Amino acid sequence: VSSPPGRRARLSSPGTSQQPPEAREEMRRRVKNLIEGSRVMIFSKTYCPHSSRVKELFSSLGVDCNILELDQVDDGIRVQEMLTEITNQKTVPNIFVNRVHVGGCDRTFQAHQSGLLQKLLQEGSANDYDLIVIGGGSGGLSCAKEAAILGKKVMVLDFVVPSPQGTSWGLGGTCVNVGCIPKKLMHQAALLGQALRDSRKFGWEYNQQVKHNWSTLTEAIQNHIGSLNWSYRLSLREKGVTYVNAYGEFVDHHKIKATNKKGQESYFSASKFVIATGERPRYLGIQGDKEYCVTSDDLFSLPYCPGKTLVVGASYVALECAGFLAGFGLEVTVMVRSILLRGFDQEMAEKVGSYMERHGVKFLRKFVPVKIQQLERGSPGKLKVWAKSTEGPETIEEVYNTVLLAIGRDSCTRKLGLEKIGVKINEKNGKIPVNDMEQTNVPHVYAIGDVLEGRPELTPVAIQAGKLLARRLFGASSEKCDYMSVPTAVFTPLEYGCCGLSEEKAIEVYKKENLEVYHTLFWPLEWTIAGRDNNTCYAKIICNKFDSDRVIGFHILGPNAGEITQGFAAAMKCGLTKQLLDDTIGIHPTCGEVFTTLEITKSSGLDITQKGCG
């Protein structure tokens, strides 16, 4: 069909032949994804009567179609030119049924009259689902629900293999059940303990002994998590997503085996698959670790107070858990093999550790456990830990009630049957390499979330990636997930928020002489009357001198660091510069306003200690 008056001018837009090769290849991939991901794909124009006839035909047959109106999308001309290149058909409608090019309006009606169309439609129903998502965590659920909204038939398989201590949980993945949600609630419980101590200085008088009840907290947390599990199941049901509580394993390219907790096996097929199985805590591989130690999988539902605790590891999980346990008044030791918070800004990491150490957390640096033995059973019992130095022959031994391992996490990819269908993984860490479309080396298999190699392991990242993946596979979108400048926060007793590059990474990428680092210590107003540490909270930004002092690294150590960082992360997405910060009027008195008055650079060597309210 030709364009009506007023639309012809759009045909002069740059065509695919004039596009750079990468852009043409991306357009080809996008068009093919639409074709391959749809039972019926119609490329149409809203004003075309032939397109309308075809849509009415499929509607009368009760067949759902994926329709892209080329006159309603910005790059419709380029899509049509790519279709011409692929099919040698210049007009719309351009129809595909189960990846087979049927043609235009006339050929579709001829196929319907001859019975060919019905045959093609039946072939497509060979697969049970358009999409099967393996893993019911944040990313998997996001992808599944978005695909269902786009009219696809979707299944989610989710199965939690119990931890060595026997802990398992419901739908929702790590974040909801044994990660971000219970962690933040326990962090809040510890902050309330600090607030109680501060409150006397603010005039609150109370005589009764205040103590923390572990069981009350864990019961409340588990009740909240249970309500979230239920809401996720309800949301899937409302959107028509089939949820199966079973372990998924590939047996063929488009077929998986699902094994439930009773060992019963079922088989399902799909056109496309998304792997979103996440990670689980790593163990030490020493005598007594799996028998007697707990991990973050177990801690948040532990039926007894952990007592004197050894936390092994220096990850954010290790420091967060050590922080809130100490906040409950427990004796806590952190055993560190090398550095704190690997991958984070090391100046900030050391400040996090120093604050924890000043507030009662003991650190054992450059030691690793070599053996763990149970001395007494109980709730908690007693465990003896032997450890050796990483720098010499020195060994130490100590008795604890609980040993919490937080030494890293391993991807859950090795028992999915990926080798049967040729999906490559990194044999060292189990991570799955993907392209910028989250596609593995096997075209119909995709992966999102913590299993991806070289991507941030964060819940909001997985949610965004899952949603955008579904829109590219089954909608008209070409938007990819932006993995750059992702903000995050570490919920240690003194919170640390960051966005962009660490100082070390910025120096590696841009060279020190091309950077300016602005920094300051600050004293939150709330801490003054409470008599809490002055010149402990710290803020810094890293600027690229040769790009208008653009902020490429944002770091804050202080109360509510996550809330502060979230706002500035949006500004960084918009190209935040030092001048824009200077031009911004702060909200007084807040911690966040410190970024609007930064004056001292590291290179100046000037004193950054604060004497009072700014």
Select, from the ranges 20-29, 94-103, 473-482, 598-607, the one with the highest average predicted confidence (pLDDT). 598-607
Written as one letter, the residue type at 544 is N
pLDDT at 476: 85
Nearest Cα neighbor of 515 from 541, 544, 540, 555 is 544
Residues 576-605 have pLDDT tens digits of: 999 999 999 999 999 999 999 999 999 999
- Give the whole-angstrom CA distance, residue 406 versus residue 387: 16
Predicted confidence (pLDDT) at residue 510 exceeds the cutoff of 60: yes
pLDDT at 64: 82
Residues 126-168 have pLDDT tens digits of: 789 999 999 999 999 999 999 999 999 999 999 999 999 999 9
Positive or negative CA dihedral for 420, 425, 427, 431? negative
Residues 111-121 have pLDDT tens digits of: 999 988 988 88
Give the Å distances, CA to CA, from 68 to 8, 9, 129, 294: 19, 21, 22, 52
> Considering 212, 359, 444, 588, which one is annotated as catalytic?
588
| 285-295 average pLDDT score | 97
352 by DSSP, 3-state: which? helix
Mean pLDDT estimate for the chain: 94
- Give the whole-angstrom CA distance, residue 487 versus residue 498: 6
Give the Å distances, CA to CA, from 610 to 324, 544, 582, 600: 28, 26, 19, 12
pLDDT at 11: 31
Angle at 521 between CA 356 and CA 354, to 5 degrees: 15
pLDDT at 612: 58
Instruction: Copy the structure tokens of residue 396.
Output: 């130490």
Question: What φ, ψ does residue 424 adopt, rounded to 5°?
Answer: -80, 140
Which ranges of 394-490 does DSSP label H, i.e. alpha helix?
418-421, 459-474
Predicted confidence (pLDDT) at residue 614 exceeds the cutoff of 50: no
Predicted confidence (pLDDT) at residue 437 exceeds the cutoff of 90: yes
**Helix axis angle, 105-114 relative to 49-60, nearest 10°?**
30
- Give the whole-angstrom CA distance, residue 175 versus residue 182: 8
Written as one letter, the residue type at 64 is D
Predicted confidence (pLDDT) at residue 7 exceeds the cutoff of 80: no
SS3 content of the chain, % helix, strand, coil (to 5): 40, 25, 40
Known catalytic residue at 254: no
Residues 52/45, Cβ–Cβ less than 8 Å: no
**Cα atoms in the 13 Å half-sphere on the side-chain side of 528:** 10
Quick count: other Cβ atoms within 10 Å of Cβ 507? 16
| 174-185 average pLDDT score | 98
Nearest Cα neighbor of 389 from 405, 376, 370 is 370
To the question of pTM greater than 0.85 for the whole model, the response is no
pLDDT at 17: 54
pLDDT at 122: 77
pLDDT band at 5 (very low <50, low <70, confident <90, very high): very low
Written as one letter, the residue type at 292 is Y
Q: What is the 3-state secondary structure (H, E, C) of 215-246?
A: HHHHHHHHHHHHHHHHHHHHHHHHCCCEEECC
Instruction: Copy the structure tokens of residue 593.
Output: 């306003």
Residues 493/332, Cβ–Cβ less than 8 Å: no
Predicted confidence (pLDDT) at residue 12 exceeds the cutoff of 70: no
Nearest Cα neighbor of 43 from 123, 110, 111, 103 is 103
pLDDT band at 9 (very low <50, low <70, confident <90, very high): very low
Predicted confidence (pLDDT) at residue 3 exceeds the cutoff of 60: no
Written as one letter, the residue type at 143 is C
Predicted confidence (pLDDT) at residue 124 exceeds the cutoff of 70: no
User: Left (φ > 0), alpha (ψ -120 to 50) or beta: where does 173 sit?
Assistant: left
Residues 6+ apart with CB under 8 A from 235: 141, 145
Predicted confidence (pLDDT) at residue 1 exceeds the cutoff of 80: no
| 332-350 average pLDDT score | 97
**Cα atoms in the 13 Å half-sphere on the side-chain side of 498:** 25
Residues 319/340, Cβ–Cβ less than 8 Å: yes
Nearest Cα neighbor of 387 from 425, 333, 435 is 333
Instruction: Copy the structure tokens of residue 140.
Output: 């998997």
Residues 34-58 have pLDDT tens digits of: 888 788 999 999 999 999 999 999 9
Predicted confidence (pLDDT) at residue 613 exceeds the cutoff of 60: no
- State what percent of residues in the chain have pLDDT above 90: 88
Residues 512-544 have pLDDT tens digits of: 999 999 999 999 999 999 999 999 999 999 999
Question: What φ, ψ does residue 438 adopt, rounded to 5°?
Answer: 60, 25
- Give the whole-angstrom CA distance, residue 324 versus residue 330: 9
- State what percent of residues in the chain have pLDDT above 70: 96
Give the Å distances, CA to CA, from 220 to 14, 193, 305, 486: 60, 17, 15, 31
Residues 300-331 have pLDDT tens digits of: 999 999 999 999 999 999 999 999 999 999 99
